[in-house]
């Protein structure tokens, strides 16, 4: 027999313990994705319990259901349009008054059956709060059930109650809702009379609720009604709404939406009087005491910097070990494949294309796991909002939110996790801006390029030059932030009104689920795009296969073989070894020359030469241009490609430095190239992440275009400006 399916949505304030309850119910059987069209995380889980097939949806945490933030719109639309069988509103018992604001709105929606979970009742008790849950249930006509989410107490019983409620034939209760003052109630009634006759079942609104929203000037509701109602009903509705809003405005000398908010809190105050008692006993607020240290005027910043430093160290230093293991694992696999598979195009594709490409992604996994573990730790303990509290003043200067600091800082390590870390920002604009400027934070993969170029051309001053390059990136990020905030992403950054939740001991299970969800997403989605990208880049550098070489390399190789076998015959045994090495060296030289010519004649080389005029004004030759193109796969590749094109081995070796010096590159041109590498199009993994996190091709292309144009302009200014003032 097929089991009956029930959909249960979890709603509640941020920090109400909603996600903990969700994790307790669903465990690891959860699916994390995005809500359609927006980058708000959507969590869904399916469990079979008590003979039912339960679908549990974790709605975004919100304080209200006004359409100001995407989270609120998403939560509201889900309840309205999908109409889950039951909505469980998780109420933070230690924060009852504010939680009830969302709860009353939930009741007003009038769509699904609502159940209240009075969560963290232990914390409330410890604070000396007494809540009469029976009275609360009676007053709001909603079943109420006490839970302690982080101890998994009462969660099963809560589910059982939700199932009973879903199975009962009772309609969503129409009992006591917020009663507004007389003028407002009569305004609501007037709109309701206009609306009700036109309401078809396909309009997912309750007429009373829709009337209230119209009075509150809710654009989304108005638009929806305009498209759903018959034409002749719209005009009277709109004009009536306008008239009523005007009357109320004059009557209260205040916007109607503010009056309604005020009255809801008044209604809640009435409920509070009946159900809530706080003992006068002085309690110890340990959270407040922790904050006396962690956000202290003097030690707050040093402690914050220490935590960030520790996170950085863990992510990139501790992460380097498993990174090495994976790297050598991939390397080992590559060499096994290399020796086992017969020489063919397919093998080349597999080893140099797919394996190299996928390998370059998978090495980031340890970094990402550790980083997301740390971020989950920051978030679950409540420290993240303190970071924002401390940093907001500085970040606000760039037009950003305090929380943008972490992604930007992580950018110095690797842009992929950094851009994913921007998820912690609630406002879409803040998140987008952070994503757009994070690539200017010079990531660790660019360092080898700087080391080669600065080491070659600036000798003992290399360190200072590299430091200047980093600084250049930070300044570009700041200027970009200010520019975009005043143009493209105009509008005040989101209000900073932010709760500083009490510190909590995190649950390992939650941390691990958090970490794994985000990492899994990285593996799945990145894998595909990077795979395709690597294959394209490989094909560009591997074709055409039939190069007309300028030298007869096979003949040269045969010649050397012949000469040395002659020599070996007459040489005495002591010299044999030296001869063998000599031969190897010469053969390598030829192979390198051959590879250099092959790469130069590949599509990549052809493109590189074709676009050489673009790089010429920056003092970069066609080899530099090709390397920069190849650097799209990963920035380290710039160095190895330079090596290939200059026909030298061992990236970063003295041979490459000599080759660069003799190629006609000047120190100024090297500096311009470093600036270009710093700023231009991020690597393919980062681009894929930007695409994923903005869920917009437009913004991804914008990011690519903007970074590359800025890079070219800056490098141009540096190179030509430098020449003007007589530098070389």
Partner 1 sequence: MDHQMVGATSLSKVAEGQRARIIAVGGGGALRRRIMEMGMTRGTELFVEKYAPLKDPLEVIVKGFHVSLRVEEASEITVEIVE
Is-contact 323 333, C-beta < 8 A?
no
DSSP secondary structure letter of residue 191:
H
DSSP secondary structure letter of residue 30:
E
Helices (H), 129-218: 133-140, 155-167, 182-195, 207-215
Is-contact 215 248, C-beta < 8 A?
yes
Q: Report the run of H or E that residue 8 belongs to, with start and end.
A: strand 4-12
Strands 129-131 and 276-278: antiparallel
Is-contact 637 445, C-beta < 8 A?
no
Backbone angles phi, psi at 8, to 5 degrees: -125, 125
Backbone angles phi, psi at 171, to 5 degrees: -75, 160
Q: Report the run of H or E that residue 605 belongs to, with start and end.
A: helix 603-610
Q: Give the C-alpha distances (Å, rounded to integers) separating 72 from 12, 427, 671.
A: 11, 11, 48
* Number of neighbours of residue 223 by Cβ within 10 angstroms: 10
Strands 30-34 and 41-49: antiparallel
DSSP string, 372-405: HHHHHHHHHHTHHHHHHHHHHHHHHHTT--GGGH
C-alpha to C-alpha distance for 298 and 301, rounded to whole angstroms:
7
C-alpha to C-alpha distance for 213 and 102, rounded to whole angstroms:
15
3-state secondary structure 659-721: HHHHCCCCHHHHHHHHHHHHHCCCCHHHHHHHHHHHCCHHHHHHHHHHHHHHHHHHHHHHHHH
Calculate helix-pair angle for 133-140, 256-275, nearest 10 degrees: 140
C-alpha to C-alpha distance for 415 and 212, rounded to whole angstroms:
46
User: Which of 184, 187, 181 is CA-nearest to residue 237?
Assistant: 187
Residues in contact with partner 1 by CB under 8 A are 63-64, 66, 68, 94-95, 97-98, 101, 257-258, 261-262, 265, 287-288, 291, 295-298, 300-301, 385, 388-390, 392-394, 396, 492, 494-502
Is-contact 438 418, C-beta < 8 A?
yes
C-alpha to C-alpha distance for 258 and 337, rounded to whole angstroms:
69
Residues in the chain: 728
Backbone angles phi, psi at 118, to 5 degrees: -85, 90
| Residues β-bridged to residue 11 | 89
User: Which of 719, 709, 691, 639 is CA-nearest to residue 476?
Assistant: 709
Rounded to the nearest angstrom, the gap between the alpha carbon of residue 524 and the centroid of all alpha carbons in its chain is 15
Residue with tokens 């004009």: 239
C-alpha to C-alpha distance for 712 and 530, rounded to whole angstroms:
25
Q: Which residues contact 644 (CB under 8 A, 6 or more apart)?
A: 592, 595, 596, 599
Under DSSP, is residue 210 helix (H, G, I), strand (E, B) or coil?
helix
Q: Report the run of H or E that residue 47 belongs to, with start and end.
A: strand 41-49
Is-contact 462 451, C-beta < 8 A?
yes
C-alpha to C-alpha distance for 707 and 725, rounded to whole angstroms:
27
Find the angle CA(373)-CA(378)-CA(380) to the nearest 5 degrees. 90
Q: Is 688 exposed, middle or buried (0-12, 13-18, 19+ CB in 10 A)?
A: buried
């Amino acid at each position: 027999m097929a089991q009956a399916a029930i959909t249960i949505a979890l709603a509640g304030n941020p920090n109400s313990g909603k996600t903990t309850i969700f994790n307790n119910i669903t465990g690891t059987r959860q699916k994390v994705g995005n809500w359609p069209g927006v980058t708000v995380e959507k969590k869904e889980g399916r469990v079979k319990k008590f003979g039912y097939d339960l679908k549990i949806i974790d709605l975004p945490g919100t304080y209200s259901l006004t359409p100001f933030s995407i989270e609120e719109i998403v939560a509201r639309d889900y309840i309205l349009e999908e109409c889950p069988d039951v909505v469980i509103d998780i109420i933070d018992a230690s924060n009852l008054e504010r939680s009830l604001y969302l709860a009353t709105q939930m009741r007003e929606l009038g769509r699904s059956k609502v159940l209240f979970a009075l969560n963290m009742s232990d914390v409330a008790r410890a604070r000396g709060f007494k809540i009469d849950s029976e009275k609360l249930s009676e007053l709001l006509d909603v079943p109420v059930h006490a839970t302690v989410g982080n101890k998994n107490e009462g969660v099963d019983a809560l589910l059982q109650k939700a199932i009973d409620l879903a199975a009962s034939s009772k309609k969503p209760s129409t009992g006591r809702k917020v009663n507004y003052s007389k003028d407002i109630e009569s305004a609501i009634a007037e709109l309701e009379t206009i609306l009700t006759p036109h309401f078809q079942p396909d309009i997912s609104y309750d007429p009373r609720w829709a009337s209230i929203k119209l009075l509150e000037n809710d654009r989304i509701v108005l638009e929806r009604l305009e498209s759903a109602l018959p034409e002749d009903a719209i005009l009277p509705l709109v004009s009536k709404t306008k008239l009523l809003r005007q009357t109320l405005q004059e009557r209260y000398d205040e916007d109607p939406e503010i009056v309604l908010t005020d009255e809801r809190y008044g209604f809640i105050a009435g409920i509070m009087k009946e159900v809530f008692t706080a003992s006068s006993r002085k309690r110890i607020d340990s959270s407040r005491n922790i904050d006396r240290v962690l956000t202290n005027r003097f030690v707050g910043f040093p402690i914050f910097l220490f935590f960030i430093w520790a996170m950085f160290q863990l992510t990139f230093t501790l992460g380097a070990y498993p990174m090495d293991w994976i790297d050598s694992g991939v390397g080992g696999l590559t060499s096994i494949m290399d020796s086992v598979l017969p020489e063919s195009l397919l093998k080349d594709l597999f080893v140099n294309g797919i394996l190299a490409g996928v390998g370059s992604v998978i090495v980031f996994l340890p970094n990402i796991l550790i980083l997301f573990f740390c971020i989950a730790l920051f978030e679950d303990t409540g420290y993240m909002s303190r970071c924002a509290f401390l940093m907001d003043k500085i970040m606000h200067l760039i037009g950003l939110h305090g929380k943008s600091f972490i992604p930007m800082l992580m950018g110095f390590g690797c842009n992929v996790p950094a851009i994913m870390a921007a998820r912690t920002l609630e406002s879409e604009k803040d998140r987008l801006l952070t994503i757009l400027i994070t690539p200017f934070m010079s990531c660790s993969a660019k360092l080898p390029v700087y080391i080669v170029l600065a080491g070659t051309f600036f000798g003992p001053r290399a360190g200072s030059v590299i430091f200047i390059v980093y600084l250049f990136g930070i300044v570009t990020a700041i200027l970009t932030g200010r520019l975009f905030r005043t143009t493209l992403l105009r509008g005040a950054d989101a209000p900073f009104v932010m709760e500083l939740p009490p510190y909590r001991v995190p649950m390992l299970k939650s941390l691990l689920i958090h970490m794994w969800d985000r990492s899994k997403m990285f593996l799945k989605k990145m894998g595909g795009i990077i795979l395709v990208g690597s294959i394209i880049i490989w094909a560009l550098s591997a074709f055409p296969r039939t190069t007309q070489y300028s030298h007869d390399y096979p003949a040269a190789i045969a010649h050397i073989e012949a000469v040395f076998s002659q020599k070996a015959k007459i040489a005495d045994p002591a010299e044999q070894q030296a001869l063998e090495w000599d031969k190897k060296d010469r053969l390598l030289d030829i192979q390198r020359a051959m590879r250099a010519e092959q790469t130069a004649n590949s599509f990549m080389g052809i493109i590189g030469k074709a676009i050489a005029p673009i790089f010429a004004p920056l003092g970069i030759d066609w080899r530099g241009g090709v390397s920069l193109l190849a650097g799209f796969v990963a920035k380290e590749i710039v160095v190895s490609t330079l090596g290939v094109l200059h026909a030298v081995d061992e990236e970063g070796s003295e041979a490459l430095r000599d080759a660069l010096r003799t190629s006609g590159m000047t120190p100024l041109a090297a500096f311009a190239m470093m600036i270009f590498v710093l700023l231009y199009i991020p690597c393919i993994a980062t681009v894929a992440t930007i695409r994923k996190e903005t869920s917009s091709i437009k913004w991804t292309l914008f990011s690519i275009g903007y970074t590359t144009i800025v890079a070219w302009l800056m490098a141009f200014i540096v190179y030509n400006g430098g020449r003007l003032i007589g530098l070389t």
